[in-house]
Chain A
Amino acid sequence: MNFHPQILIDASYLLAAFLFIYGLKRMSSPVTARSGIVVAGWGMLIAVLASFLYVFSVEEAAKPHLVVNVVLAAVALLLGLGWAWRSGKKVEMTAMPQMVALYNGMGGGAAAAIAAVELLKPSAEYTLIPLVVTIIGALIGGISLSGSMIAWAKLDGRINGTWRIKGQQALNGVVFLATLALGLFIAFAEHGHAPVILTAAFFVGALIFGVLMTMPIGGADMPVVISLFNAFTGLAVGFEGFVLQNPALMIAGMVVGSAGTLLTLLMAKAMNRSVANVIFSNFGAAGDEQQGEIKGSMKPVDAGDAGINMRYASKVIIAPGYGLAVAQAQHKLYEFVKLLQDAGVEVKFAIHPVAGRMPGHMNVLLAEAGVPYDIIYDMEDINGEFKEADVAIVIGANDTVNPAARTNKSSPIYGMPILNVDQAKQVYVVKRGQGKGYSGVENELFFADNTNMVYGDAQKVMVAMTQAVKSLDGGGH
């Protein structure tokens, strides 16, 4: 029997597809999540190694170039792997969302590159369906590449502010339709053998649209957009997989395409917005919404006093926001929490779905500080418990605890689910200054009778609270 490398390749892809799905399944529970990514990693390694068996079955025309191509492939693999491995090891946990955007854009670019190589082949004979699928995959991949780069640059602070012009949506629409029309022209009229300049124009159009689509979107909405581009890249990979007749790409791409779409919808829902609203509206631009009259005043309190009060409480719930991570105060916070736990106080963390930069980001940041995940609760699970809490402490969060979302119909955040911290007997709000949240809405929680403000850098405040409790208990031990 002859040596059939294709059987080995096919078997490896089947195994890889199984390991990806099994790995993702394991990733869906915190207990097994770690092993899930390792399982999926083995799938990737097997698939990549098996791909080098293609050297035994390259097309006749490519044979004279085989040595050069293999060297190029090895160099590209090592460069990409080496760079990404290093950057992935170095990145701060707070910068995780933009890093995911960057890697995701690279995947979209790879999908577009596959399409470009297919379209450039002078000798190829195309049939219509694969050709149209190639074009659509290329369009989505190109948009994902340039859009993700903009998302990365924005979250990383390399592009500041939003870029909006009059008639922007009309412009975007024209660019998109022109690019799509050009792509379909290449497929239907030119049968894939369009002049290179037209093909190039098609790819440039896709890239420009990705930029135009992402530029007007504000930084706070970016996670939804990144998740959307993640789904886009998945679809692009799935489509190019069909063109290459590669079931591993088809399955992995489509699994991510649908999972990413669902995740995008969940994120948008948690922010009380629709995906269309995130992409097409200019949220946060109109800052002068009608404000309801706010009664009462902000009452500052000393950090030490607040700390001691919590030491004598029986139940404390902590509502952290991104401000906690910006101040890098998670470790100091957990130190304080352990002190409270040692004193017999029941401490729980309440996580709003959009705390941090994207859903689950705050959990990652707390996990980094060593906070065990079983004292961290999702909003739906803990919102009923605030009534029984002696103290609720809000650290670096604002809009996610604003009662205006329940009551003030003119507020831009009206209808967004919030943490019910205002129902606790005593509320402390740790805050740098008197600023507003990203929605630009004044927070009536800060003026409530049962609320006291602890002003200062979150890290210093946590240290002050810890010291106050320690000096109190110091004599007793």
Chain B
Amino acid sequence: MDTATTITGFVALYIFMLAAFTGYEIIGRVPSILHTPLMSGSNFVHGIVVVGALYALLNATTLPEQIIGFFGVLLGAGNAAGGYVVTERMLQMFKASDKKKA
């Protein structure tokens, strides 16, 4: 397909390098009070793996591929949804003094 991009070795390394710096910078400045929600939040972000699992399953051609792909999507969806729910639950509890509970 003419619109498909191909990510070859060095382009991949650039992406990985910049992403690694981004992650480092984001966490490096976080107060430790947010470490637990942030670990949970980053756990949610790698739930994007479900997208890759969907791709693998949709392109499956044999029964073993379908079975493994099915579990891949199942696990990935669990990672994303679970990570989202627990992170959201934790973060919504953080309140400042002046903001009295509505």
The docked-state distance in angstroms from the alpha carbon of A59 to that of B58 is 9
Question: Residues 19-44 of chain A: 1 if any B CB is under 8 Å from the residue's CB, otherwise 0?
Answer: 01101110111110110111011001
Q: Is A309 an interface residue (CB 8 A)?
A: no
The docked-state distance in angstroms from the alpha carbon of A104 to that of B52 is 16
Q: Are B43's CB and A104's CB within 8 A?
A: yes
How big is the B interface, by class? Answer: 35 or more
Residues on A with beta carbons closer than 8 Å to the beta carbon of B66: 65, 68-69, 72
* Nearest CB of A to B91, in Å: 5
Residues on A with beta carbons closer than 8 Å to the beta carbon of B60: 62, 65, 69, 117
Q: Are A111's CB and B49's CB within 8 A?
A: yes
Contact A358 to B35, CB < 8 A, known contacts A44-B44, A103-B79: yes
Q: Are A72's CB and B57's CB within 8 A?
A: yes
Residue of B12, B31, B81, B89 near A81 (CB, 8 A) is B81
Question: Residues 33-65 of chain B: 1 if any A CB is under 8 Å from the residue's CB, otherwise 0?
Answer: 111111111111111111111111111111011
Q: Is B7 an interface residue (CB 8 A)?
A: yes
The docked-state distance in angstroms from the alpha carbon of A240 to that of B46 is 12
Q: Is A320 an interface residue (CB 8 A)?
A: no
* Nearest CB of B to A334, in Å: 12
* Nearest CB of A to B4, in Å: 6
Residue of B3, B49, B61, B90 near A253 (CB, 8 A) is B49
* Nearest CB of B to A113, in Å: 3
Q: Is A195 an interface residue (CB 8 A)?
A: no
Q: Are B41's CB and A110's CB within 8 A?
A: no
Contact A27 to B48, CB < 8 A, known contacts A62-B59, A103-B82: no
Contact A364 to B37, CB < 8 A, known contacts A24-B42, A47-B48, A254-B15: yes
Residues on B with beta carbons closer than 8 Å to the beta carbon of A254: 15-16, 19-20, 23
Q: Are B77's CB and A77's CB within 8 A?
A: yes
Q: Are B78's CB and A80's CB within 8 A?
A: yes
How big is the A interface, by class? Answer: 35 or more
Contact A80 to B76, CB < 8 A, known contacts A248-B48, A250-B15, A255-B19: yes
Contact A118 to B56, CB < 8 A, known contacts A37-B88, A96-B36, A258-B24: yes
Question: Which one of B40, B48, B60, B65 has the greatest number of beta carbons of chain A within 10 Å?
Answer: B48
The docked-state distance in angstroms from the alpha carbon of A97 to that of B58 is 33
Q: Which residue of B lies closest to A76 (CB)?
A: B73
Residues on B with beta carbons closer than 8 Å to the beta carbon of A451: none
Residues on A with beta carbons closer than 8 Å to the beta carbon of B82: 84-85, 87-88, 99, 102-103, 106
The docked-state distance in angstroms from the alpha carbon of A65 to that of B63 is 10
The docked-state distance in angstroms from the alpha carbon of A313 to that of B77 is 52
Q: Are A109's CB and B72's CB within 8 A?
A: yes
Residues on A with beta carbons closer than 8 Å to the beta carbon of B38: 24, 27-28, 259, 263, 360
Q: Is A246 an interface residue (CB 8 A)?
A: yes
Contact A10 to B5, CB < 8 A, known contacts A103-B78, A113-B75: yes
Give A residues with C-beta under 8 Å from B.
4, 6-7, 10, 13, 16, 20-21, 23-25, 27-31, 33-34, 36-38, 40-41, 44, 47-48, 51-52, 54-55, 57-59, 61-62, 65-66, 68-70, 72-73, 75-81, 83-85, 87-89, 91, 93, 96-97, 99-100, 102-104, 106-107, 109-111, 113-114, 116-118, 120-123, 129, 196, 226-227, 230, 233-234, 236-238, 240-242, 244-260, 262-263, 266-267, 270, 351, 353, 356, 358-361, 363-364, 367-368, 370, 372-376, 378
Q: Can you sample 30 A-B contacts with CB below 8 Å? A: A21-B26, A27-B91, A30-B33, A37-B91, A62-B60, A62-B61, A72-B57, A72-B66, A79-B77, A80-B74, A80-B78, A84-B77, A84-B81, A88-B84, A100-B43, A100-B83, A103-B86, A118-B56, A236-B49, A237-B52, A245-B4, A245-B6, A256-B23, A258-B21, A262-B27, A263-B35, A270-B32, A360-B39, A367-B93, A372-B95
